[in-house]
A = this chain, B = another copy of it.
């Protein structure tokens, strides 16, 4: 297979690269050279090093590489908009390769932004062309996205992943939570409690620490109650996005499973798609839009 283009998912923390032949993957590489650790002049040499041995073919990139703090700012496109990403060229074809970066999306009221997920939505529509409904993309900042007639209509972001990481990793609760998976039954109970009485869940946070100190609360149960509380708050706030809808969850396996379980417990029909598959399909759709602008 001849490498004829390169797909790049260039986020805050990592750079993931695929040497592509049409829709086929020839080789995959991952580097911990995310946007967060790079100055603008670093991106071209990092890309050259990371693609060593690959031909001088076009690069299609998505993610925080296109933010104001990234390589070249790819300004936000307002929704509603077509689901195939708009591409912004990096001036000067660094390393002899045309490099294009997918633009993020903006919503003015209520204010919201995304950068990277727009490419996964394009991938969802590439893989399931008739998709009409809601996509939920759990992660550091979970996105709920309404898609209809091959357009992204509107979306809503929650900080659930970032809040969980801060509370579990740095608050006083860090002493009381397991590292690994949480208890599934305790998770669903916490989701249900947090949805029914969000304020009670707020009072339950320090209680995890106290139960751990006073009665040896199982750390896997504590972890499940924390994640269930946060995801329960999110589902309560996102009710208009999933009530009476079919939802496709796009994300990493373990986190997607939590969202799928929580939604299924509310009677919501849930499908799953891997974030890697969605990203690659979206970058492929973007690449094809360059080859065939019609």
Of A183-191, A229-237, A243-251, A253-261, the one contacting chain B is A229-237
Rounded to whole Å, the gap between the CB of A1 and the closest CB of chain B is 40
The answer, yes or no, to whether A171 is at the interface (CB within 8 Å) is yes
CB distance from A157 to the nearest CB of B (A): 4
Q: Give the secondary structure class of A's interface.
A: helix
Q: Are A215 and B111 in contact (CB under 8 A)?
A: yes
This chain: copies in complex: 2
CB–CB B108/A206 < 8 A: no
Interface size class of A (residues with CB under 8 A): 35 or more
Residues of B within 8 A of A76 (CB): 214
Stretch touching chain B among A13-21, A131-139, A145-153, A161-169: A161-169
Q: What would 23 A/B residue contacts be, using CB atoms closer than 8 Å?
A: A76-B214, A108-B215, A110-B207, A110-B210, A111-B210, A111-B214, A111-B215, A141-B206, A158-B203, A159-B172, A162-B172, A163-B167, A163-B205, A166-B167, A198-B199, A198-B202, A198-B233, A199-B236, A199-B237, A200-B237, A202-B234, A202-B237, A203-B238
Within the complex, what minimum Cβ distance (angstroms) separates A155 from chain B? 10
Q: A107-B210, A111-B215 are known; give 4 further A-B pairs, CB within 8 A.
A: A159-B205, A162-B171, A200-B237, A202-B233
